[in-house]
Amino acid sequence: MSETYPEVQGGGSLILAWQVRGRRVLVVGGGEVAAGRILNVLNADAKVTLVSPRDGLNDEVAYRIEKKQVDYIDRKFEPSDLDGADMVLTAVDDPEASTQIYKLCKEKRIPANIADVPPECDFYFGSVHRDGPLQIMVSTNGNGPKLANIVRRQIAAGLPKNIGAAIQKVGQLRRKLRRVAPGPEEGPKRMQWMSKVCETWTLEDLCEMDEKDMERLLGFYKPNSVPLLTQLRLGEHAPIVGFGGAFGWW
């Protein structure tokens, strides 16, 4: 029986999509590495506080400060900077200072990433490909960041150019479906039906799908069927069905 289950492969990390929207992220350091960290968390809609002396600021970091994309404190790190922080990222050329910050974070139970010191990281940054809502991260668990970048580029080169737009349309359809069938008991059926749509329609079909197509397609949720886009537009199946914002169809 054991051969029917996946073999456990230890030594990995749990890769998650961490939602930090609106959370306070403290970045210590203002060099090139800090610039990348800042962009990563700004892309995730976090609120960023940067602590670093103005001397030696990376040009991109200086730009973020000038555009008021971050809250800037012009000095070296002080322990009080951790007050109110939900996450800490350090990128300074001072191993001893970095270790002290990490120890303080552990005491306060604040997740931290100490750049270039894997043993002092609660999480790692991977190499990320972004296309609209699509994000693909490649992690080497701190072993080879440059290699992760190479692998990420190879993966991205093999993806369809319109996959980001297709995912956006699928997201719109899912939100509409949740309004049509909001009950928790509908959850498994919603997932099954959306899977059918993604398997039946091509990426080009999903990109081309408009609001009218979505409304007509939703008419096939109850009978649990999925017509092709061409059939849907030719009217070979059910007519457009409206949803009045409450339970049921009209």
29 inside domain: yes
Q: Are residues 204 and 187 in the same domain?
A: yes
Determine the pLDDT at residue 125. Answer: 87
Asked about 116 being catalytic, the answer comes back as: yes
pLDDT in tens, 6-53: 889 898 888 888 999 999 999 999 999 999 999 999 999 999 999 999
Residue 189 CA to residue 208 CA, distance in Å, equals 25
Structure tokens at 19: 């939602």
Domain end, chosen from 143, 159, 175, is at 159
Residue 246 is assigned to a structural domain of this protein? no
Tokens 């409304």: give the residue. Answer: 215
According to the per-residue pLDDT averaged within each range, which of 100-109, 111-120, 228-237 is highest? 100-109
Is 120 found in the same domain as 33?
yes
Domain boundary among 159, 183, 214: 159
The two tokens of residue 37 are 């960290």
pLDDT for 223: 93
Same domain? For 98 and 135 the reply is: no
Q: Where residue 56 falls among pLDDT bands split at 50, 70, 90?
A: confident
Q: Does the residue 205 lie in any domain?
A: yes
Q: Are residues 150 and 174 in the same domain?
A: no
Q: Which pLDDT tens digit goes with each residue over 192-201?
A: 999 999 999 9
Residues 32 and 107 in one domain: yes
CATH number for the domain that contains residue 114: 3.40.50.720
Query: How far is residue 218's CA from residue 13's CA, in Å, rounded to a whole number?
Result: 39
The packing angle between helices 163-180 and 211-218, to 10°, is: 50
Residue 238 has pLDDT above 80, yes or no: no
Output the pLDDT for position 1.
Answer: 54
Which residue has 């103005």 as its token pair?
54
Contact 210, 170 (CB under 8 A): no
Whether residues 148 and 103 share a domain: the answer is no
| 104 shares a domain with 57 | yes
For residue 17, CA distances in Å to 43, 130, 133 come to: 13, 13, 12
Kindly list the strands in the beta sheet with 47-51, ordered across the sheet, starting from the edge strand earlier in the chain. 71-73, 47-51, 24-28, 87-90, 112-114
**211 or 241: which carries more pLDDT confidence?**
211
Distance in angstroms (rounded) separating the CA atoms of residues 173 and 221: 11
- Residue 244, domain member (yes or no): no
Q: pTM for this structure? A: 0.77
pLDDT at position 110, please?
98
Question: CATH number, domain at 214?
Answer: 1.10.3280
Give the range of the structural domain holding residue 176, as residue numbers without chain letter: 163-234
Angle of helix 59-66 relative to helix 32-43, nearest 10 degrees, comes to 40
Name the active-site residue from 116, 122, 131, 205.
116
Which pLDDT score, from 0 to 100, does residue 242 have? 40
Total structural domains within the chain: 3
